[in-house]
Amino acid sequence: MRVVALDDYQHVALGLLDLPARVDAVAMPAHIDDEDELVSALEGAGVVVAMRERTRLPGSVLSRLPNLRLLVTTGMGNAVIDLAAATEAGICVCGTSGALTPTSELTWGLIFALLRHIPTEDARIRAGGWQSTVGVGVAGKTLGLLGAGRLGKVVAEAAHAFRMPVIAWSQNLTAERSAAVGAELVTKEELFTRADVVSIHLVLGDRTRRLVGEPELRAMKPTAFLINTSRGPIVDEAALLRALQEGWIAGAGLDVFDTEPLPVDHPLRSAPRTVLTPHLGYVTDDCYRVFYRDISEDIAAFAAGSPVRVLNPGWDTAAQQR
């Protein structure tokens, strides 16, 4: 059995996978965007491991991998895998459990790094300098949650500890659910006009794509900050660049982008008043250990004909037995 792990940026996959000795496992540390190159890299693989949504796996790729029988993605959902095409090609797609808190923790890391100018002052002191900025405290400032589900709830809990009032909005959020996380339910317009920090915790979909655009960014206070640890396309990237360059908002902390990895010449890399991280929300030791434990279990169970965490609804479990 040949197992290929994609996008192993940190070179950890082979050390964390627990597979039988007869398995030939290889890891691809470099991201492969070109479909022909990807098909070539996956040639002969019976199992492919996808790290979250780093690599797109459409039908045009899956249909060209005749040996592929199992595709394991970290997490229990992956928007860039064509599940229908996988089923058609006879490929079982399954997932893993994960960890709830890492992305919420990074949200606060971005907030403090941005408001207290930590990267700027770190670089300055290493260059021989001393204080050059005046930071912004969070106590008494209003946190606006765009989405108050599982991740937003954890962010809200920390906000209360920092003495921040919390307001929230999403299309399906009710007053009862908002109150349960200690947030005041407001309209979308209110959230952007009142919040000192707007933090996004929504799933990317048709209703949330470009949800934060020029009208929303212009509605924010010029002293307010935007934090996005969810998905890049929820924010209109062109509008955000203008907001940063023209001073509509005070700054942005971004862990996610429209195109990932972020192109070397992308204008966000030089945008003012930003703190940028390379989609680190879930990238912690604890979370990776859960991912790779479950990946190993999925591969072993599939090989033995036992039940796996199937994600493609059309997959015929009986076919696995055959």
Whether 279 sits among the annotated catalytic residues: the reply is: yes
Q: Is 124 a catalytic residue?
A: no
Reading phi first (left if > 0) and then psi (alpha if -120 to 50, else beta), residue 75 is in left
- Choosing from 53, 201, 260, 269, the catalytic residue is 260
- Out of 231, 237, 269, 309, pick the active-site residue: 231
Distance CA 143, CA 188 (A): 13
Burial level of 206, CB count in 10 A (0-12/13-18/19+)?
exposed
Q: What totals of helices (H) and strands (E) does the chain contain, helices first?
A: 13, 12
**Residue found by looking up tokens 């009208």 in the block:** 215
The question of whether 260 is a catalytic residue gets the answer yes
CA 322 to chain centre: 36
Question: Is there a contact between 257 and 233 (Cβ–Cβ < 8 Å)?
Answer: no
- Tell me the C-alpha to C-alpha distance, in Å, between residue 310 and each of 10, 77, 145, 313: 27, 10, 32, 7
Find out whether 296 and 285 touch, Cβ atoms under 8 Å.
Answer: no
* C-beta of residue 157 within 8 angstroms of C-beta of residue 166: no
Residues with Cβ within 8 Å of 209's Cβ and at least 6 positions away in sequence, in order, are 233, 234
Q: How far apart are CA 183 and CA 161, in angstroms?
A: 13
| Whether the Cβ atoms of residue 167 and residue 191 lie closer than 8 Å to each other | yes
Burial class (CB in 10 A: 0-12, 13-18, 19+), 68: buried
Catalytic residue among 279, 293, 297, 322: 279
Q: How far apart are CA 196 and CA 221, in angstroms?
A: 7
CB neighbour list of residue 149: distance below 8 Å, 6 or more residues apart: 170, 201
Give catalytic residues, as residue numbers: 231, 260, 279
